[in-house]
Amino acid sequence: MSTGRPGGLWARWKALLARQETGEALAVFRVFVGFCALWAVAVPMQYGVAEFMWADTGYRGEGMDADTLRWVLRLGVVSSVSLILGIGGRVSAFVTLQVCIAFMTLHPAASGAHDRLIKNALWLLVLANSTATLSLDCRLKTGAWTSDRLVSAWPRYLAVLQLFIMYQATGIQKISPEWTPLGGFSALWYIVRSDMWMRFDADWLPYWFTQFSTAGTWIWEWCAWVFLYALWCRDKRPATHWANRYDLRTLWAAWGIGMHMILYVLTVLGPLSWATLAWYACLWHPDEYRAGWRRLAGRLRPSVDPASG
């Protein structure tokens, strides 16, 4: 006997949360996030500006003691490297998260969007089992770097949802005329010439290129729903469906990767581009990672001449 629509919805919700998969996607996500956290912690230390940004200098009335700050940042380096190597599991993610919270909230003017992305990602890694494969934990437990151990899929789904919210929200917030036809799609032209953001003199860059990039970015962010629809089609529609034949998700991701690489080359945004691209790792199912690795290994494997055998 049917339990009615509410029961059906609840059953589907439980089935969604009960889904399991191998851990390749979360492992790649973990490595990217670990590198971004290491960048955020180690680069200020390397250039000697960590104390200026986060230590209590006496006149600003905020920050932590300089000696304490140094120890906290060193702990952050160790925990970030542990996250990259995949040792310590959720503990490494939690320690890295606490370090990032400790210094990223001290001085808002020294923080940025990448800090929030890194902290959100670390929270997901606290909840997820990201060291089931491609990790030192896996190596110590099984004797191999890879494993077929199943993990919960919902942390990856949450990462995909975060990616959608991030891009859709930023697209909606781009309401100044420079991002639209009303301002001639001139936003990027101004950004790459801003003393705050420019990496080098960009006078050589054609105006039409900045217009094309601005328009492309604005439209692409508004179309973040495309990859959600594409993922739904891959789960619910046959391979012959047009969205699966053309793989809209990968096309959308390829444009985003290109956009972020252009921004990284032209502007100084710290780890923002990489902290954003880290979330892309969750767009692909672990089976797709495995299939891609098999294709790559097949191409790299030297062919054997039958006559020489």
Extents of the domains making up the chain: 20-152, 154-287
Angstrom CA distances, 152 to 26, 130, 178, 303, stand at: 10, 10, 43, 39
Q: Which two tokens stand for residue 229?
A: 């629809």
Taking the C-alpha atoms of residue 167 and residue 234, their distance in angstroms, rounded to an integer, is 21
Query: Does the pLDDT at position 271 exceed 60?
Result: yes
Q: Which amino acid is at 177?
A: P
Q: What percent of the chain has pLDDT over 70?
A: 92
First to last CA, the chain: 65
- For residue 3, the model assigns a pLDDT of 47
pLDDT of residue 4: 47
CA distance 23 to 44: 32
What are 186-222's pLDDT values in tens digits?
999 999 888 888 888 888 899 999 999 999 999 999 9
pTM: 0.90
**∠ at Cα 45 (201, 118), nearest 5°?**
80
92 Cβ contact partners less than 8 Å away, ≥ 6 residues apart: 79, 82, 83
Distance CA 51, CA 3 (A): 61
pLDDT tens-place string over residues 129-185: 999 999 999 999 999 999 999 999 999 999 999 999 999 999 998 889 999 999 999
Q: What is the pLDDT of residue 309?
A: 46
Percent of the chain with pLDDT over 90: 63
- pLDDT by residue (tens digit) across 101-120? 888 777 776 777 888 999 99
* Per-residue pLDDT, 59: 47
- Tens digit of pLDDT for each residue in 18-56? 999 999 999 999 999 999 999 999 988 888 888 878 876
Instruction: Give me the mean pLDDT over the 236-245 stretch.
Output: 88
DSSP state of 279: G
pLDDT tens figures, 70-86: 899 999 999 999 999 99
